[in-house]
Amino acid sequence: MGMVRWLITRGALAVSTMLGVATVVFVLLRVVGDPLAGLVPPGSAPEDVAALRQTYGLDRPLPEQYVGFVVAAARGEFGESWRQGRPALAATLERLPATLALVGAATLLAVGGGLVFGLAAGANAGGWLDGGTRLLTLGGQAVPAFWLGTMLILLFAVRLRWLPASGFDGPASVVLPAVTLAAFPLATVARLVRASTRQSLAADYVRTARGKGFAESAVLRRHVLRNALLPTLAFAGFQAGFLLGGAAVVEAVFAYPGLGLLALNAVADRDLPVVQAFVAVVATLLVGINLLVDLAAHWLDPRLRSDAGFEGTA
């Protein structure tokens, strides 16, 4: 029953989060100016503007528009794209696989690389490997994504011709964007794991394991790595928003046909249905990712299971 209560609580929190996101988006898109500003040609007759406003339901009072928007969004209906002339949700979901491939590859690279570099640096504190890792992480956090992406294109696509510079045509097209997107979170994960590793290596249970004759590799794998995963998981959930948001910049640099590029174009065109569908899809992804991260954290740490009231149910 503890697990059921926890899931119900998280589900209610997810619904309230989605409602809050929908409210913020609805308000912001109308505060910044007339939604029809990008659609109406200069010099249009007032009656044409009024007819267009009525067509898109923008002539109704704002509270009525808001209620209609929330009810329709709950059904997955965001209207037709003002530019593409087809359902906005379909146009958004069409780009989803490309973005999931990019974000998934970047996440694996960031978490996997961060764990390897962080464990190696923490286990060799003060050595050359530690110094090199700290220098690498500093560079990963300091270099802007748009500059790194441009340099990677010039080197690997233009000069060496090893990888495509733009588009999405197979796994090779994901390599450069994924490396660019993963640079910052990889550096941060490495620093978190390094600090956690150094702290764990000084703990009593690690000294006990060494006293029992365990090899250093076994100590790192069985004891240190498990504790290092907890802050990494927490950071991964936090960085899910960064990766999805940062994907917009990376997709623009590489002309990568994902959700981020679609959202940038929709904002430039003031295509409100597509913007609203994009935000709803991204918010749903973030809520789902954070729920999975919480479940993984409870599985790894018995203390969290006990606090949540479902000890023994995992």
Asked which of 74, 99, 131 is the last residue of a domain, the reply is 74
Range with top average pLDDT, 98-112, 121-135, 195-209 = 98-112
Query: What is the pLDDT averaged over residues 251-270?
Result: 88
102 and 38 share a domain? no
Q: Check residues 128 and 106 and name the one with the higher pLDDT.
A: 106
- The pLDDT value recorded for residue 191 is 87
How would you class 65 by CB atoms within 10 Å of its CB: exposed for 0-12, middle for 13-18, buried for 19 or more? Answer: middle
- The pLDDT value recorded for residue 49 is 79
Residue 314 lies in a domain: no
For residue 313, what pLDDT band results from cuts at 50, 70 and 90?
A: very low
Q: What is the pLDDT of residues 140-186, one digit of tens each?
A: 888 888 899 999 999 999 998 899 988 888 889 999 999 999 998 89
- The pLDDT value recorded for residue 204 is 66
Distance CA 298, CA 68 (A): 38
Residue 266 lies in a domain: yes
Compute the mean pLDDT over every residue in the chain, rounded to the nearest whole number: 80
Q: What is the CATH number of the domain that holds 285?
A: 1.10.3720.10
Q: Could you give the angle at the alpha carbon of 40 between the alpha carbons of 36 and 43, nearest 5°?
A: 135
How would you class 244 by CB atoms within 10 Å of its CB: exposed for 0-12, middle for 13-18, buried for 19 or more? Answer: buried
Query: What is the pLDDT averaged over residues 296-308?
Result: 59
Query: What is the pLDDT averaged over residues 241-259?
Result: 85
Q: Which residues contact 24 (CB under 8 A, 6 or more apart)?
A: none
Share above pLDDT 70 across residues of the chain, in percent, rounded to a whole number: 81
Residue 80 lies in a domain: no
Asked which of 23, 45, 74 is the last residue of a domain, the reply is 74
203 and 102 share a domain? yes
Q: Check residues 9 and 155 and name the one with the higher pLDDT.
A: 155
φ, ψ at 80 (rounded to 5°): -90, 145
Q: Check residues 305 and 170 and name the one with the higher pLDDT.
A: 170
Query: What is the pLDDT averaged over residues 124-147?
Result: 83
Strand partners, 80: 87
Asked which of 74, 105, 125 is the last residue of a domain, the reply is 74
- The pLDDT value recorded for residue 314 is 39
Domain with 257, as residue range(s), is 88-308
For residue 35, what pLDDT band results from cuts at 50, 70 and 90?
A: confident
Number of domain units in the chain? 2
Global pTM value: 0.77
Q: Is the pLDDT of residue 234 over 80?
A: no
